[in-house]
Amino acid sequence: MCHRLLRLLRQGLLGMVIACLLAPLALAQDGLKIDITTGSEKLIRLALLSMPADNPADRVFVETVEAVVAANLRRTGAFSLLPVTPQSPPLTERTDLGQDFAMQWRGKGAQAVTLGSLTRLPDGRVDLRFRLIDTTKNVDLGGLSLITAPTNLDARRTAHRMADYIFEKLTGEPGFFSTRLAYVRRDGRQQVLLIADSDGENAQPALRSNESIISLAWSPDGKRLAYVSFESGKAVVYVHELATGRRSVVANYRGSNSSPAWSPDGTRLAVVLTKDGGSQIYTANLDGSGLRRITQSGTINTEPSFSADGKHLYFTSDRGGSAQIYRIPVDGAGQPERISFQGSFNARPVVSPDGKIMAFVARRSGRFQIGVRDLASGDEILVSEGPKDDSPSFAPSSKWIIFSSLVNGREALSAVSVDGKVRTRISVDTAGIRNPAWGPMPQ
């Protein structure tokens, strides 16, 4: 493998956010199991100091924030949280830190320390403020003032934002604790489309159906979800507005309508239709208007994914005799360019948000595995073991991939860093979970 791919894959911090993402999805009653098989070899030693509240009634809010921040960072596998005894008097973001502060905490093994406090505002809201100190360099890394309602849900959201800040300042990579996850699980005979916070809490059903729900795809702004539902007895593509629950039909033509994929600017969708007899790729406006056929061959063309710059579509086709990955300009001009060459089956291409790599499903020795390809060099590696891995979806950072897998005959979600070194799996004893889609950073 060339040095370019090695450099690219090493940019992902081992154990980053995936373990946090796959924290309990409010399904503990169904026998949730989480397995984190590996972690970072070099941990950041962090001391999270207790944050006082000027109103004793807000102590629960503070404790929730502290617990969620600690859980977020600990589950990444990148942090070691040091035990901290209560400080007297408490250290806060307003404390005038002396010259020996960094030395004192370095002596306790801390490479970084957080200090903060919570204040009740006259309008009833609360203001959580914190600072982050790099003790190795004796540098104040700044902090945030987070004003919100004093509810448990807002405490959790505040904690995710605080954890995002800490993670980015100490690792150099954006945190993703404020992102959301969409997935489908079985609930008796029903299929339920769920939207959960990054740590799995606050999971809310967006759709219940007696028929299958597949091909989830987040809009770039994170406000809508495209998917395929069979509730009408056939495959139909919908766009679902999450805030209101309103849905609109994008494609309901004769035959099958499938595989929605958003353009990077969020104005169009690529879909796969069989209305003209064969499986072909089209693009359309969000209301279904402006339909334009992109592929023209008589072979199967399916599973489109936009390039990060919106200029090309990657897709799966059997035009060469077996399922392989191709690329075509988004206007359909010219002949498709074949991208994959290793093995007899490569499908479901998904381009990373930064446009540098592509995830896909590869069949090797009868096992369906997740592959990663450097789009500049063409170098590829397999990052999962199979035997039946599917539906890859990138984290907003392009450093992690979540996908469907089959574990001991049960449907589960798995995730892997793009270098394949860190793997996490989540499964439920009584119901399968599948078709994951990792949401974008909130705007």
**pLDDT above 60: residue 10:** no
Say if CB 403 and CB 392 are below 8 A apart: yes
| Angle separating helix axes 59-75 and 152-171, nearest 10 degrees | 40
| Residues near 10 by beta carbon (within 8 Å), at least 6 away in sequence | 419
**pLDDT above 70: residue 375:** yes
Q: What is the mean pLDDT of residues 166-194?
A: 89
Do the bridges between strand 224-229 and strand 112-120 make them parallel or antiparallel, or are there none, so unpaired? unpaired
Report which DSSP code applies to 177. Answer: T
Structure tokens given for 183: 């997935």
Cα separation, 23 vs 15, in Å, equals 13
> Among candidates 387, 389, 385, which has minimal Cα distance to 413?
389
Q: What is the mean pLDDT of residues 28-55?
A: 68
pLDDT confidence tier of residue 59, bands split at 50, 70 and 90: very high
Q: What is the percent of the chain with per-residue pLDDT over 90, rounded to a whole number?
A: 68
Give me the half-sphere count of Cα atoms (radius 13 Å) on the Cβ side of residue 307: 15
> Among candidates 257, 347, 45, 287, which has minimal Cα distance to 166?
45
| The model's pTM | 0.83
CATH 2.120.10.30 positions along the chain are: 180-438
Cα separation, 418 vs 397, in Å, equals 11
Say if CB 325 and CB 302 are below 8 A apart: no
pLDDT confidence tier of residue 40, bands split at 50, 70 and 90: low
pLDDT of residue 432: 75
Give the pLDDT confidence of 279-314 residue by residue, as tens digits. 999 999 999 999 999 999 889 999 999 999 999 999
Residue 18: count of CB within 10 angstroms of its CB: 27
> Does the CA dihedral 247-251-256-258 come out positive or negative?
negative
Say if CB 301 and CB 332 are below 8 A apart: no
pLDDT of residue 41: 61
CATH 3.40.50.10070 positions along the chain are: 41-171
Question: Mean pLDDT score of the chain, rounded to an integer?
Answer: 87
Report which DSSP code applies to 245. Answer: -
pLDDT of residue 169: 95
> Among candidates 180, 150, 144, 182, which has minimal Cα distance to 163?
144
Cα separation, 184 vs 161, in Å, equals 26
Give the pLDDT confidence of 197-250 residue by residue, as tens digits. 877 778 889 999 999 999 999 999 999 999 999 999 999 999 999 999 999 999
pLDDT of residue 12: 37
Q: What is the percent of the chain with per-residue pLDDT over 70, rounded to a whole number?
A: 89
**pLDDT above 50: residue 403:** yes
Give the pLDDT confidence of 145-168 residue by residue, as tens digits. 999 999 999 999 999 999 999 999
Structure tokens given for 257: 């309508």
- Residue 339's SS3 state is coil
**pLDDT above 60: residue 430:** no
> Does the CA dihedral 388-176-372-375 come out positive or negative?
positive
Cα separation, 164 vs 159, in Å, equals 8
| Residues near 300 by beta carbon (within 8 Å), at least 6 away in sequence | 278, 279, 316, 317, 318, 319
Helix (H) or strand (E) holding 367: strand 367-374
Structure tokens given for 232: 């009408």
Q: Does domain 180-438 correspond to CATH entry 2.120.10.30?
A: yes
Cα separation, 378 vs 65, in Å, equals 44
> Among candidates 255, 263, 220, 221, which has minimal Cα distance to 237?
255
**pLDDT above 60: residue 369:** yes
Say if CB 351 and CB 368 are below 8 A apart: no
> Among candidates 407, 437, 410, 409, which has minimal Cα distance to 424?
407
Structure tokens given for 300: 């199967």
Q: How far is CA 345 from the centre of its chain?
A: 26
CATH of 41-171, one of 3.40.50.970, 3.40.50.10070, 3.50.50.60, 3.10.129.10: 3.40.50.10070
Say if CB 177 and CB 199 are below 8 A apart: yes
